[in-house]
Chains A and B, each alone.
Chain A
């Protein structure tokens, strides 16, 4: 592929000043990839529960360790972010909310909601634990 160097380029990540729209967009992908990797832990947990009490205890012990809890906290934030921003995407798909002020407002709501829901999840989880 011989690209014509003089043709105008659409803005690429490398030369694009970060702004909330682009940062939230790439965050949706990053959290999606992170959730895919993190969900391996869910499968391990289910397989361990099906294998036997010793395997299940190993899985529970890892998840309950400081590293496991750190992963869980990261997973929780990625989950709520991808969840909220996914709903924002579904709203866009219906053709609504695509004016710039609405896009910005939705972005701020998503960031606030994901932080709030992450903290709420952990407060409830720590009380229930």
Chain B
């Protein structure tokens, strides 16, 4: 059958959705990273339940806990934004409301991620 698509469009293989598998792939990639990160997080929190402010800061200022906490916060909010976007796309049908909800989720997730990461860095660098 004769196709009306240009060779470039066929090579890109993105169709009318204008995007390919990046969203799906990044969801899987972040979920895979979150398996060890969240296990570390839950075990660490249990280990510091009775920690004082000073003990908590001492723990978060050592390199590995700081690095793993930054990764946990960053990857968690990337995964959350990605998942919430799909939920909004599936259930919010009004185009304008859908677009604004997705923008709000993305901005909020980025704000929370930066706030969490900045806090860890501030503690780690002794501020």
Q: With A39-B112, A50-B122 in contact, is A125–B84 under 8 Å at CB?
A: no
Q: Is B11 an interface residue (CB 8 A)?
A: no
Q: Is B73 an interface residue (CB 8 A)?
A: yes
Q: Is B4 an interface residue (CB 8 A)?
A: no
Q: With A39-B80, A49-B56, A49-B119 in contact, is A124–B46 under 8 Å at CB?
A: yes
Interface 1/0 per residue, A44-74 and B, CB below 8 Å = 0011011011001100000000000000000
Give bound CA distance, A46 to B57, whole Å: 10
B115 and A47 contacting across the interface, CB-CB below 8 Å: yes
Q: Is B35 an interface residue (CB 8 A)?
A: yes
Chain A interface bracket (under 10, 10 to 19, 20 to 34, 35 or more): 20 to 34
Interface 1/0 per residue, B100-127 and A, CB below 8 Å = 0000000001001001101110110001
A50 and B123 contacting across the interface, CB-CB below 8 Å: yes
Which chain A residues border B60 with CB–CB below 8 Å? 49
Which chain A residues border B31 with CB–CB below 8 Å? 86, 89-90
CB closest residue in chain A, given B112: A43
Q: Is A16 an interface residue (CB 8 A)?
A: no
For the residues of B in contact with A, the DSSP-based class is helix
Give bound CA distance, A57 to B50, whole Å: 12
Q: Is A93 an interface residue (CB 8 A)?
A: yes
B119 and A33 contacting across the interface, CB-CB below 8 Å: no
A46 and B116 contacting across the interface, CB-CB below 8 Å: yes
Chain B interface bracket (under 10, 10 to 19, 20 to 34, 35 or more): 20 to 34
A36 and B83 contacting across the interface, CB-CB below 8 Å: yes
The residue among B34, B53, B73, B118 with the most chain A CB atoms within 10 A of its own CB is B53
The residue among A32, A50, A93, A128 with the most chain B CB atoms within 10 A of its own CB is A50
Which residues does B use to contact A, with CB under 8 Å? 28, 31-32, 34-35, 38, 42, 46-47, 49-50, 53, 56-57, 60, 69, 73, 76-77, 80, 83-84, 87, 109, 112, 115-116, 118-120, 122-123, 127
A-B contact pairs, 14 of them (CB 8 A): A29-B83, A32-B83, A43-B119, A49-B56, A49-B57, A50-B119, A86-B31, A86-B34, A86-B35, A87-B35, A90-B28, A90-B31, A125-B46, A128-B49
